[in-house]
A and B are shown apart, each in its own frame.
Chain A
């Protein structure tokens, strides 16, 4: 059974870069989208972006100028970098697998989430 797990610093200083890695275990990264989603404290879910197994990416326009998602299929990992962070970027960050075929698309595997606080 495929699992994904986030890792990275829980505390980032304002104006610095938030860096998280998601490790995929129990399966291949092939044929899926791999996504980052975040949830500020007490708020709803926000889609950050994805990387397709082929390497193509797509980002939420609200974050696009600051975000990069990259992948390394040989290591079964993908990563998130969010630059110039502020307190508004404090959130639980989830990595997730997006199942897709010609008919459907949905997140079928979620990480447990990692809390990132932006503070000096």
Chain B
């Protein structure tokens, strides 16, 4: 099973700041199969980034993804109030499809 470790667990930042979220895999993940989701309290997750670096439809360009093999990063260039939420990475490369435990981005 591929274990995804997200760090930090919590990121405390001010609106307008830059956020960098990490997702490290226990084994190499093909970049086509690494995804990021955003989840707000009481809501289902929402697709942000697929295939490591492709923004989903309607996702603002302040969100960007990068990485390869075992190290992947989600960057939010300038935090907007609606960006404070939980972020999960997920891999679909090998079964079982696994999620990271999430990074909470909270207002400082």
Contact = CB atoms under 8 A, between A and B. Distances in A.
A107 interface: yes
Sort chain A's interface into a size bin.
20 to 34
Contacts of B44: 94, 110-113
B95 A58 contact: yes
Contacts of B75: none
B72 interface: no
B32 interface: yes
Interface of chain A: mostly helix, strand, loop or mixed: strand
Sort chain B's interface into a size bin.
20 to 34
B11 to A, nearest CB: 16
Nearest to B46: A110
B45 A104 contact: no
Nearest to A111: B44
A107 B32 contact: no
A44 B88 contact: yes
A103 B54 CA distance: 12
A45 B54 CA distance: 22
Nearest to B91: A105
A105 B33 contact: yes
Contacts of A111: 44
Interface of B: 1, 32-33, 35, 37, 39, 44-47, 50-51, 54, 56, 88, 90, 92, 95-102
28 contacts: A44-B88, A44-B99, A44-B101, A44-B102, A45-B37, A45-B88, A47-B90, A47-B97, A47-B98, A47-B99, A60-B96, A61-B1, A94-B44, A103-B32, A104-B33, A104-B50, A104-B51, A105-B32, A105-B33, A106-B35, A106-B47, A106-B50, A106-B56, A106-B90, A107-B37, A108-B47, A108-B56, A110-B46
